[in-house]
Amino acid sequence: MELLDLYDKQLKITGKTIERGKHIPYGYMIPIVAVIIHNDEGQFLIQKVAARKGNYYATTAGHVQSGETDFARAMLREMKEEIGLSATRSELELVKIRRYEYKFTFLYLLKSNVPIEMLRLQQDEVESVKWMDLDEIESLCRQGLFNRTHYSLLRDCVESNFFRR
Protein backbone atom coordinates (compact mmCIF):
# COMPACT_ATOMS: atom_id res chain seq x y z
CA MET A 1 0.00 0.00 0.00
CA GLU A 2 1.45 3.31 -1.13
CA LEU A 3 0.54 6.38 0.93
CA LEU A 4 0.47 9.92 -0.43
CA ASP A 5 0.48 13.13 1.59
CA LEU A 6 -2.49 15.44 1.19
CA TYR A 7 -1.87 19.15 0.61
CA ASP A 8 -4.22 22.11 0.73
CA LYS A 9 -4.88 24.43 -2.24
CA GLN A 10 -1.95 26.65 -1.17
CA LEU A 11 0.38 23.62 -1.52
CA LYS A 12 0.87 23.29 2.22
CA ILE A 13 1.09 19.81 3.68
CA THR A 14 -1.89 19.00 5.91
CA GLY A 15 -0.52 16.08 7.92
CA LYS A 16 -3.14 13.78 6.38
CA THR A 17 -2.46 10.91 3.99
CA ILE A 18 -4.43 8.91 1.48
CA GLU A 19 -3.86 5.54 -0.11
CA ARG A 20 -2.81 5.82 -3.73
CA GLY A 21 -5.74 5.22 -6.06
CA LYS A 22 -8.37 6.34 -3.55
CA HIS A 23 -10.66 9.30 -4.18
CA ILE A 24 -9.01 12.54 -3.09
CA PRO A 25 -11.34 14.50 -0.79
CA TYR A 26 -12.60 17.88 -1.96
CA GLY A 27 -10.23 20.70 -1.08
CA TYR A 28 -7.15 18.50 -0.95
CA MET A 29 -4.45 17.87 -3.52
CA ILE A 30 -1.61 15.41 -4.09
CA PRO A 31 1.80 16.24 -5.59
CA ILE A 32 2.99 14.69 -8.85
CA VAL A 33 6.44 15.04 -10.43
CA ALA A 34 7.17 14.93 -14.15
CA VAL A 35 10.31 15.44 -16.20
CA ILE A 36 10.90 16.32 -19.83
CA ILE A 37 14.21 14.71 -20.80
CA HIS A 38 15.77 16.12 -23.96
CA ASN A 39 19.02 15.59 -25.83
CA ASP A 40 21.36 17.60 -28.06
CA GLU A 41 19.47 16.49 -31.19
CA GLY A 42 16.25 18.14 -30.01
CA GLN A 43 14.64 14.80 -29.19
CA PHE A 44 12.68 13.82 -26.11
CA LEU A 45 12.98 10.58 -24.13
CA ILE A 46 9.51 9.06 -24.29
CA GLN A 47 8.35 5.92 -22.58
CA LYS A 48 5.63 3.50 -23.53
CA VAL A 49 3.77 2.64 -20.36
CA ALA A 50 3.33 -1.07 -19.67
CA ALA A 51 0.10 -2.62 -20.98
CA ARG A 52 -1.27 -3.28 -17.50
CA LYS A 53 -0.80 0.43 -16.69
CA GLY A 54 -2.49 1.81 -19.81
CA ASN A 55 -0.30 1.05 -22.85
CA TYR A 56 0.17 4.71 -23.86
CA TYR A 57 3.17 6.96 -24.49
CA ALA A 58 4.23 9.55 -21.93
CA THR A 59 7.07 11.37 -20.26
CA THR A 60 8.58 10.07 -17.04
CA ALA A 61 6.42 11.01 -14.06
CA GLY A 62 5.12 9.70 -10.79
CA HIS A 63 3.56 10.26 -7.41
CA VAL A 64 5.41 11.86 -4.54
CA GLN A 65 5.38 9.33 -1.70
CA SER A 66 4.28 10.19 1.82
CA GLY A 67 7.15 11.80 3.67
CA GLU A 68 8.90 13.07 0.55
CA THR A 69 8.97 16.85 0.83
CA ASP A 70 11.81 17.48 -1.61
CA PHE A 71 10.03 17.18 -4.95
CA ALA A 72 13.23 17.26 -7.00
CA ARG A 73 14.51 14.24 -5.08
CA ALA A 74 11.16 12.52 -5.67
CA MET A 75 11.66 13.13 -9.40
CA LEU A 76 15.17 11.68 -9.26
CA ARG A 77 13.78 8.61 -7.48
CA GLU A 78 11.05 8.14 -10.10
CA MET A 79 13.56 8.39 -12.98
CA LYS A 80 15.85 5.86 -11.35
CA GLU A 81 12.99 3.44 -10.57
CA GLU A 82 11.15 3.64 -13.89
CA ILE A 83 13.92 3.95 -16.47
CA GLY A 84 17.18 3.48 -14.56
CA LEU A 85 18.39 7.02 -15.29
CA SER A 86 20.51 8.69 -12.64
CA ALA A 87 20.96 12.43 -12.43
CA THR A 88 21.79 14.99 -9.79
CA ARG A 89 19.47 17.51 -8.22
CA SER A 90 21.43 20.35 -9.83
CA GLU A 91 20.80 18.88 -13.31
CA LEU A 92 17.02 19.19 -12.86
CA GLU A 93 15.50 22.52 -13.75
CA LEU A 94 12.07 23.38 -12.41
CA VAL A 95 9.95 24.66 -15.30
CA LYS A 96 6.67 25.27 -13.53
CA ILE A 97 4.13 24.02 -11.06
CA ARG A 98 0.89 23.23 -12.82
CA ARG A 99 -2.31 23.04 -10.78
CA TYR A 100 -5.19 20.73 -11.54
CA GLU A 101 -8.39 20.10 -9.64
CA TYR A 102 -6.98 17.49 -7.26
CA LYS A 103 -3.25 17.48 -7.95
CA PHE A 104 -0.35 19.74 -8.69
CA THR A 105 2.52 18.73 -10.95
CA PHE A 106 6.08 19.86 -10.47
CA LEU A 107 7.47 19.90 -14.02
CA TYR A 108 11.21 19.52 -14.44
CA LEU A 109 13.54 19.61 -17.41
CA LEU A 110 16.66 17.45 -17.76
CA LYS A 111 19.23 17.43 -20.54
CA SER A 112 20.72 13.99 -21.17
CA ASN A 113 22.26 12.16 -24.09
CA VAL A 114 21.96 8.73 -22.49
CA PRO A 115 21.93 5.86 -25.01
CA ILE A 116 18.71 3.83 -24.80
CA GLU A 117 20.64 0.60 -24.22
CA MET A 118 22.08 2.06 -20.99
CA LEU A 119 18.63 2.39 -19.41
CA ARG A 120 17.13 -0.29 -17.16
CA LEU A 121 13.36 -0.28 -17.39
CA GLN A 122 11.01 -1.20 -14.56
CA GLN A 123 9.16 -3.90 -16.52
CA ASP A 124 5.87 -3.66 -14.64
CA GLU A 125 5.75 0.12 -15.31
CA VAL A 126 7.55 0.75 -18.61
CA GLU A 127 7.44 -1.37 -21.76
CA SER A 128 9.99 0.61 -23.77
CA VAL A 129 11.68 3.98 -24.22
CA LYS A 130 12.65 5.87 -27.35
CA TRP A 131 14.12 9.21 -28.34
CA MET A 132 11.45 11.02 -30.40
CA ASP A 133 11.21 14.39 -32.05
CA LEU A 134 8.21 16.65 -31.64
CA ASP A 135 6.66 15.57 -34.97
CA GLU A 136 6.67 11.92 -33.89
CA ILE A 137 5.09 12.82 -30.55
CA GLU A 138 2.42 14.95 -32.21
CA SER A 139 1.64 12.05 -34.55
CA LEU A 140 1.11 9.79 -31.53
CA CYS A 141 -1.18 12.47 -30.05
CA ARG A 142 -3.30 12.59 -33.22
CA GLN A 143 -3.68 8.82 -32.97
CA GLY A 144 -4.74 9.10 -29.31
CA LEU A 145 -1.67 7.15 -28.18
CA PHE A 146 0.15 9.85 -26.19
CA ASN A 147 -1.05 10.92 -22.76
CA ARG A 148 -2.69 14.35 -23.23
CA THR A 149 -1.59 15.72 -19.88
CA HIS A 150 2.01 14.75 -20.56
CA TYR A 151 1.81 16.31 -24.03
CA SER A 152 0.55 19.51 -22.45
CA LEU A 153 3.52 19.50 -20.07
CA LEU A 154 5.90 18.93 -22.98
CA ARG A 155 4.33 21.87 -24.85
CA ASP A 156 4.87 24.02 -21.73
CA CYS A 157 8.61 23.38 -22.09
CA VAL A 158 8.75 23.71 -25.87
CA GLU A 159 6.83 26.99 -25.89
CA SER A 160 8.93 28.49 -23.10
CA ASN A 161 12.46 29.78 -23.33
CA PHE A 162 13.91 26.70 -21.65
CA PHE A 163 15.37 25.24 -24.87
CA ARG A 164 16.80 28.54 -26.04
CA ARG A 165 19.26 28.92 -23.15
Q: In whole angstroms, give the CA distance from residue 141 to residue 143.
A: 5
User: Which residues on neighbouring strands pair with residue 145, listed in sequence order?
Assistant: none
> pTM here?
0.93
Q: Is the pLDDT of residue 161 over 70?
A: no
160 pLDDT band, cuts 50/70/90, is confident
Are 44 and 137 contacting, i.e. CB atoms less than 8 angstroms apart? yes
What does residue 16 show for φ and ψ, rounded to 5 degrees? Answer: -105, 155
Q: What is the pLDDT of residues 6-20, one digit of tens each?
A: 999 999 999 999 999
Q: In whole angstroms, give the CA distance from residue 80 to residue 102.
A: 26
Domains and CATH numbers, the chain: 3-158 (3.90.79.10)
Q: What is the pLDDT of residues 22-38, one digit of tens each?
A: 999 999 999 999 999 99
Reported as half-sphere exposure (CB side, CA atoms, 13 A), residue 3 has a value of 8
Q: In whole angstroms, give the CA distance from residue 138 to residue 135.
A: 5
Tell me how many helices (H) and strands (E) the chain has. 3, 9
Residue 137: alpha-carbon gap to chain centroid? 16
Q: In whole angstroms, give the CA distance from residue 37 to residue 13.
A: 28
Q: Is the pLDDT of residue 133 over 80?
A: yes
Q: Region 92-99: what's the mean pLDDT? A: 94
pLDDT value, residue 156: 86
